[in-house]
Amino acid sequence: MAKLWAGRFSQDSSQLLDEFNASIFFDQKLWRQDIQGSKAHSEMLYEIGILSLEEKNQIHQGLDAIAQEIAEGKFKFKLSDEDIHMAIEGALIERIGEAGKKLHTARSRNDQVAVDFRMFVLQSNQAVIQKLCALIDTLLKIASNHTDTLMPGMTHLQHAQPINFAFHLVAWCCAFKRDVERLQASYQRNNFSPLGSGALAGVPYATNRESVAQKLGFFSPTLNAMDSVSDRDFALDMLYEIAMIMMHISRVAEELVLWSSYEFGFVSFSDEFSTGSSIMPQKKNPDVAELLRGKSGRAYGNLIGLLTVMKGLPLAYNKDTQEDKEGVFDSIQTALTCLEILNASLQDLKIHTDRMQKMVLVGHISATDLADFLVKECGIPFREAHHITGEVVAFAEKEGKDISQLKEEEILSIDHRIKRGVLKALDLKSSMNARDSLGGTSTHQTLHQIYTLQEWLKNMENTHG
């Protein structure tokens, strides 16, 4: 069949060009949005008197039938259709004849692809938000059971101060919450309809872009036609936001890899989310967490890829932008899958609180509390208190103990100014609970943080359903 645009051509295009030029084999993913857009457009054409009721109805029935064929996998996508827009329009004309030929009035593929792709990105934006919220919900559920579970808090991956496990999980939640907020912000920024921009300069028909925008769920039409058909920053917003999500996922995944090692032993993945080795029969590997960590690579690549495609493009539409789609599809799929898998593997995660407790006793992590006790309760200047604490640490090392395991008499013997009651300062749980400043790790503060996030989540459910 002749191409829809072949009027001014006398020779067929080469097969090589057809293959190079076509996007049909990847942009068919946009079929739902393309049909949705065409229905809104034809409805508007009817409202302004360009289509009769009869023609509009024929178009809608034809589009619905095509949608069903595609959904059932019966629609044949052909290279000669070039892209999803021409595939659907061509099939419509084949199916309903004359009325189908009027659908493309006051429209160009340039605003058509812009609206399809924007709707796809915005719908995916909402889907990623849902998955992030589900993940945060799971983390908060686990956290609620562990606000009193001691573990070593680290800096430089070295034992630093005692924290509780929930506090660590809440830290993850805060990052994922900001990811949600970034998505919400870009949704607000980008939810405007480019349809009706035409090829680049608007159209010479008295169209009603507001009506189309409203039907498609946009806030309103975009302002400038040339910008609307050429910008892809709505897609770059999404790629950046996903890159950030994947960076957060990879940090979480890295901790899960570490924690599931013998050396840490804080958690283990259920068999369902672990893998074996083909040569070492004893092994249980955290492949899931490693893949979650590794998937950030492609997300960063897709972002840099599209930024590079867009760089230096003159206004308005250029075919270069056809290269916008595959990376975006890939990043969205990657984010959705990774969020789902992370969520599922966390729900099944075994948490070894005994091991966390044991590791908290390594590294004298209440040393700062001892120094503070010497200053506050014994009137010793900080520099000296620091020195005495060092001596206590050295004594404990000699005894093969953590300072929190020393007897009161042993500590008192190190300096005559040290007062009784010192054990309380060294107690790891009191040390954790002493950090009761706003945002701190005390059980009380952690519960407050969990509550705040739970309230936020409830509010999200009410607004996003």
Please pick, among 277, 413, 444, 464, the residue that the annotation labels catalytic. Answer: 277
Region near ligand ARG per CB under 6 A, out of 40-48, 292-300, 315-323, 351-359: 315-323
State in angstroms the smallest separation of the CB of 88 from ligand ARG: 12
Both tokens of 95, joined, read 């199916």
State in angstroms the smallest separation of the CB of 190 from ligand ARG: 18
Specify whether 277 is catalytic: yes
* Phi-psi category of residue 265: left, alpha or beta, with phi > 0 → left and psi -120 to 50 → alpha: left
Task: Reduce the DSSP state of residue 154 to 3 states and report it.
Answer: strand
Region near ligand ARG per CB under 6 A, out of 107-115, 330-338, 357-365, 368-376: 107-115
Burial string for 265-297 (b: 16+ CB within 10 Å, else e) reads: ebbbbeeebbeeeeeeeeeeebbbbbebbebbe
Q: Is 349 in the site for ligand ARG (CB under 6 A)?
A: no
Q: Is 33 in the site for ligand ARG (CB under 6 A)?
A: no
Cβ atoms of 221 and 212 within 8 Å: the answer is yes
Cα–Cα dist 350/165, whole Å = 13
Cα–Cα dist 63/126, whole Å = 26
Q: Which of 113, 128, 253, 332 binds ligand ARG (CB under 6 A)?
A: 113
Cβ atoms of 86 and 144 within 8 Å: the answer is no
Q: Which of 34, 55, 81, 83 binds ligand ARG (CB under 6 A)?
A: 83
Q: Is 115 in the site for ligand ARG (CB under 6 A)?
A: no
Q: Is 23 in the site for ligand ARG (CB under 6 A)?
A: yes
Which 8-state DSSP code applies to residue 13? P
Region near ligand ARG per CB under 6 A, out of 6-14, 109-117, 147-155, 448-456: 109-117
Q: Which of 317, 361, 369, 402 binds ligand ARG (CB under 6 A)?
A: 317
State in angstroms the smallest separation of the CB of 109 from ligand ARG: 4
Listed residue (82, 76, 78) closest to 23, CA to CA = 82
Number of residues binding to ligand ARG, judged by CB under 6 A: 10
Q: Is 67 in the site for ligand ARG (CB under 6 A)?
A: no
State in angstroms the smallest separation of the CB of 123 from ligand ARG: 18
Of 27 and 179, the one with the shorter C-beta distance to ligand ARG is 27
Please pick, among 10, 156, 278, 416, the residue that the annotation labels catalytic. Answer: 156
Cα–Cα dist 277/283, whole Å = 6
Of 107 and 131, the one with the shorter C-beta distance to ligand ARG is 107
**φ, ψ at 256 (rounded to 5°):** -65, -35
Listed residue (258, 270, 107, 271) closest to 195, CA to CA = 107
Cα–Cα dist 420/190, whole Å = 64
State in angstroms the smallest separation of the CB of 328 from ligand ARG: 11
Of 229 and 356, the one with the shorter C-beta distance to ligand ARG is 229
Task: Reduce the DSSP state of residue 160 to 3 states and report it.
Answer: strand
State in angstroms the smallest separation of the CB of 270 from ligand ARG: 43
Residue 323: Cβ within 10 Å count = 15
State in angstroms the smallest separation of the CB of 319 from ligand ARG: 6
Q: Is 121 in the site for ligand ARG (CB under 6 A)?
A: no
Cα–Cα dist 221/412, whole Å = 76
CB within 8 A of 384, min separation 6: which ones?
374
Both tokens of 142, joined, read 């686990």
Residue 425: Cβ within 10 Å count = 22
Specify whether 156 is catalytic: yes
Q: Is 295 in the site for ligand ARG (CB under 6 A)?
A: no
Q: Is 234 in the site for ligand ARG (CB under 6 A)?
A: no
Q: Which residues bind ligand ARG (CB under 6 A)?
A: 23, 27, 83, 109-110, 113, 317, 319, 321-322
Residues annotated catalytic, as ranges: 156, 277
